[in-house]
Amino acid sequence: MIKGIDKIEAELLKQQETKDSVMDLSRGIIRQAGKAITKIHARDLPGAWKLIAELKAEVKKLKGIEKGFEYNSMQAHQEYVEACALHVMINESRIPSREELNTDGMAYLLGLLDSVGELKRYSTDCLRKEDREKAEKCYDMMLEIYDSTVPMRFANSLVPDFRKKQDVARTQIERLSGELLFFRSQKK
């Protein structure tokens, strides 16, 4: 046997264990963020807040072990940003800062762009319940997110799916704009 090969195997096994832990935690965060978003849409904001508090603790734990495996945990960070940002935007009608969410720039941008679709969904429900004011506030935040990111151009290899998420956000904004115009015309 080659001298030292067992040491290499031990190192790689340790890396594999870390990667497995990162993947397990990431999957849990993604599920938890989805549950929080579902509670937000169900208007269970205290329940969503409880899940988001748990999410913050899980993300902190993930940050403690993910070094070297950030690629594997990026989706979890994006989903965390999406859920937390949506909660703040619905409750406080403002877009939280990156520092407030304690996340990196890429996860922040991608998570915010994903939240545009959730804001659109929430706005459509507001219109259905004839709450035009809340729908308009959501529309304004959607537009602010899009307008803030539209001048940015990055290679897909640097920020995966950034351009695609911008395009989806633009489509969501255009659709909501049409819905708001239709709603206004029906109320006259």
What CATH number is attached to the domain comprising 17? 1.20.58.2140
CA dihedral 164, 166, 170, 171 (to 10 degrees): 20
What is d(CA 28, CA 176) in angstroms, rounded to the nearest whole number?
A: 32
Name the phi and psi angles at 91, rounded to 5: -75, -40
Closest CA to 34 of 92, 118, 143: 118
| Residues with Cβ within 8 Å of residue 134, at least 6 apart in sequence | 123, 126
Residue 81, domain extent:
5-186
How crowded is residue 173: how many other Cβ atoms within 10 Å of its Cβ? 19
| Residues with Cβ within 8 Å of residue 168, at least 6 apart in sequence | 113, 116, 117
Please report which confidence band the pLDDT of residue 1 belongs to, taking 50, 70 and 90 as the band edges: confident
Closest CA to 91 of 148, 34, 48: 48
What is d(CA 45, CA 102) in angstroms, rounded to the nearest whole number?
A: 21
Q: Render pLDDT for 68-105 as a digit per residue (tens, 0 to 9).
A: 999 999 999 999 999 999 999 999 999 999 999 999 99
Q: Render pLDDT for 145-167 as a digit per residue (tens, 0 to 9).
A: 999 999 999 888 888 899 999 99
How crowded is residue 110: how many other Cβ atoms within 10 Å of its Cβ? 23
Quick check: 113 and 159 in contact, CB under 8 A? no
Residue 172's pLDDT is what? Answer: 95
| Residues with Cβ within 8 Å of residue 187, at least 6 apart in sequence | 132
Say how many domains are in the chain: 1
Residue 49's pLDDT is what? Answer: 94
| Residues with Cβ within 8 Å of residue 127, at least 6 apart in sequence | 135, 179, 180, 183
Mean pLDDT across 46-55: 96
Residue 188's pLDDT is what? Answer: 59
pTM of the model: 0.92
Q: Render pLDDT for 8-30 as a digit per residue (tens, 0 to 9).
A: 999 999 999 999 999 999 999 99
Residue 187's pLDDT is what? Answer: 66
